[in-house]
Amino acid sequence: MLLETISLVRDLPRLHEISSVLIRYGGGDLVRRLGVGGMLERAGRVLHWKESVEIEHLDPSQRFRQGLEELGPTFIKLGQVLATRVDLFPPNWIAELEKLQASAPALPFEQLLPQMKAALKGLDPHAVFDNLNTTPRAAASIAQVYEANLKDGTPIIIKVRRPGIEPKIEADLRIMSHIARMVEVEFPEARRYQPRQVVQQFAKSLRRELDLAAEARNIQRFGEKFAEDETVFIPKVYWDYTGQTMNVQERIDGIPGNKLLDADAAGLDRKLLADRGANIVLRMILLHGHFHADPHPGNVFYLPGNRIALVDFGMTGMLTHERRNQISDLLISILTKDEMGLLDVLLEWTGDSVVNETKLAADVIEFVFNYSSVHLKDISFGNLLNELTAMIREHHLVMPSDLTLLFKTLITLEGLGRQLDPEFDMAEHVEPFVKEVLRLRYSPEAVMKRGAHSVKDMFSVLTGLPRDLAKFFKELRRGRVRIDIDVKRLERFGQQIDRSTNRLTLGIMTASLVIGSSIVMTIPSGPKIFGMPFLGFLGFLIAVVNSIWIVFSIWRAGKE
């Protein structure tokens, strides 16, 4: 029962709203199977099961996207995260989810003014900043952006979190977490999509986005890494005015990434911009291991001298050294058409998934063969990655979340490059970076460092082995060796047994009351009510109430 998993009654109104939207968009069966409908109706909140919108002409991806839009900011953000899961959804679903926008109706400046004053330690923002424009430059679901100037005339933007948004998001995240757990229990076929892991990843990302100081720290990190690169511009953060609910950044007045005609009119070189943009993002990914995860045209500005400015660092990706090595192996296998190298990388990513290695190997060989006679400059890197992820979906593999974000970034990057330069060759830019990663991996310093770590790990294992074996056999003699078995549905099965036992116990008690009350009825002495012995009457009354409750409980269980 979902009722037993939701501990706070205050979430019930929101759960009712979510259930109603699911029903209207054709998700009534999901609501029934999760037990949400019965739980809400027992709480006095009636669901209109026959209420629906005109969805006959919509395909499932459109229904899903429109439902997320109706549910509000948290679910719109979820859809944007799902749009990065190219390993889970086919291209038509990804394209539909990409239509979700985080924009929202702007709140009046007066409603955000207390938030700004609190961030400025009680000071009036009009006194701290000059030329503060109370009309927002942008209004998103989490924050609004205003233009102003510092006292020295420096143009800035002020990003302010919407007031009262955190409790609403936390309530939605609690409900999402419970629903994801119930989906894994009720829909075994959905477990391969790892709904709980997706929600956990999303919750972590969204909470990080709520902290505007975290975005400012990302900006500063990227600024330090590209401090010596004159081709890229990262805005400066003004920490004196920056905190969790507000950050202040240097304002960029450049040409937006989607205004290509304006770039031409300004005399900028599109081809050079495409080359520099690709080099910047690939350097982030393969050399730094920390990358801007949303380099779409709205987050890119073109500056004089063919410089590129990046904004909105709320969504970034992190890659470990091991993951960067795997990505390099994947890319070099694709570029050199090495099917065995590509197969090895995919098998590393399977995790606990059960995979038919023979069939996967055959599909990898066919995949590489299809590109064997195609020149690198003629390969669409985005199409290639889409085909690769389609093969991953077909074999029911689920890539780690950091890789799905990376693949989405690479596809977006190539799309931006092709807009600037129709002859843009992504593979041409990838190859030198991959070679640089391989050179660094096999440099004498790196080999010696890995060797030292291996020797240290081996020494640790050998010295700890006698102690571990002694501990194991000691626990074995005492009969205290424990084996953990994770069985799906076991928790729900235990709950069902517990409820059945409770009903059985109450039934036995009710039968005992009937027998005892019947005996008391034969005793003429003692207090009476309606001419009957009081204790006997009371016993029968309790037995009737218990019987009604048992019958209702059994009927309710059959409806869930």
482-532 residue pLDDT tens: 665 555 555 655 666 767 777 777 778 778 777 877 777 777 777 777 777
- 43, pLDDT greater than 60: no
- Is residue 84 domain-shared with residue 178, that is, in the same domain? no
149-174 average pLDDT score: 90
The top-scoring range by mean pLDDT among 16-20, 125-129, 346-350 is 125-129
Same domain? For 370 and 288 the reply is yes
Three-state DSSP at 236 gives coil
Residue 474 falls inside a structural domain: no
| Angstrom distance (rounded) from CA 276 to CA 293 | 17
From CA 282, how far away is CA 494, in angstroms rounded? 51
**60 has pLDDT over 50:** yes
- Choose the catalytic residue: 294, 312, 329, 425: 294
pLDDT at 213 over 90: yes
Based on the fold, state whether residues 369 and 507 are members of the same structural domain: no
The reply to whether 246 and 260 lie within a common domain is no
Residue 491 to residue 501: CA distance in whole angstroms:
15
Q: Are residues 296 and 323 in the same domain?
A: yes
Q: Are 280 and 370 part of one and the same domain?
A: yes
The pTM assigned to this predicted structure is 0.69
Q: Please determine, for residue 229, whether its predicted confidence score (pLDDT) is greater than 80.
A: yes
Q: What is the pLDDT of residue 220?
A: 93
Q: What's the pLDDT at 113?
A: 93
Q: Taking residues 407-433, what's their average pLDDT?
A: 83
Q: Which residue has the higher pLDDT, 306 or 491?
A: 306
- Among the ranges 28-32, 202-206, 259-263, 295-299, which has the highest mean pLDDT value? 259-263
Strands 528-529 and 316-318, how do they pair?
A: unpaired
For the ranges 221-225, 347-351, 357-361, the one whose mean pLDDT is highest: 221-225
**Does 212 reside within a domain?**
yes
Please compute the mean of the pLDDT values over residues 316-329 and round it to a whole number: 84
Please check whether residues 340 and 434 belong to one and the same domain: yes
The whole-number pLDDT of residue 8 equals 47
Residue at 116 is within a domain: yes
Find the domain containing 165 and state its range: 105-139+142-251
User: What CA–CA distances, in Å, run from 192 to 87, 109, 196, 547?
Assistant: 11, 46, 11, 43
What the block records as the tokens of 311 is 């904004």
Q: Which of 442, 462, 481 is the last residue of a domain?
A: 442
What is the tens place of the pLDDT at every residue in 245-254? 999 999 998 9
- Structural domain contains residue 464: no
pLDDT of residue 112: 93
Q: Is residue 455 in a domain?
A: no
Residue 212 binned pLDDT confidence (cut-offs 50, 70, 90): very high
Q: What is the pLDDT of residue 3?
A: 43
- How confident is the model over 76-102, as pLDDT tens digits? 888 877 877 776 778 788 888 878 765
Structure tokens that stand for 363 in this block: 């599909």
Q: For 366-388, write each residue's pLDDT tens digit.
A: 888 887 776 666 667 777 777 88
Among 212, 227, 251, the domain-final residue is 251
Q: What is the distance between the terminal CA atoms of the chain, rounded to a whole angstrom?
A: 8
Q: How confident is the model at residue 538, as a pLDDT?
A: 79
Q: Give 146's DSSP letter.
A: E
In the chain, % of residues over pLDDT 90: 20
Let me know whether 96 and 223 are in one domain: no
For 150-159, 219-228, 309-318, 454-463, which range has the lowest pLDDT when averaged over its residues?
Answer: 454-463
Among the candidates 415, 442, 469, a domain finishes at: 442
Please indicate, yes or no, whether residues 406 and 286 belong to a single structural domain of this protein. yes
Tell me: pLDDT of 1 over 50: no
Assigned domain for 261 exists: yes
* Two tokens, residue 175: 């409900």
Pair 186, 237 in one domain: yes
pLDDT at 116: 94
Element containing residue 247 per DSSP (H, E): strand 246-250
Would 460 be classed as within a structural domain? no
Residues 421, 428: Cα–Cα separation, whole Å = 14
Task: Tell me whether residue 484 is in a domain.
Answer: no
Which tens digit of pLDDT belongs to each residue from 438-492?
A: 787 777 876 787 677 777 777 777 787 788 778 877 777 777 766 655 555 556 5
User: What average pLDDT does the segment 177-189 reach?
Assistant: 77
Annotation marks residue 294 as catalytic: yes
pLDDT at position 4? 44
**At residue 129, does pLDDT exceed 60?**
yes
C-alpha span between 142 and 163 (Å, rounded)? 9
Does residue 77 share a domain with residue 163?
A: no
Of 127, 155, 133, nearest to 145 by C-alpha is 133
Confidence tier at 53 by pLDDT (50, 70, 90): low
Q: Are 103 and 409 in contact (CB under 8 A)?
A: no
Count structural domains, the chain.
4
pLDDT beyond 60 at 231 = yes
Do 160 and 305 lie in one domain? The reply is: no
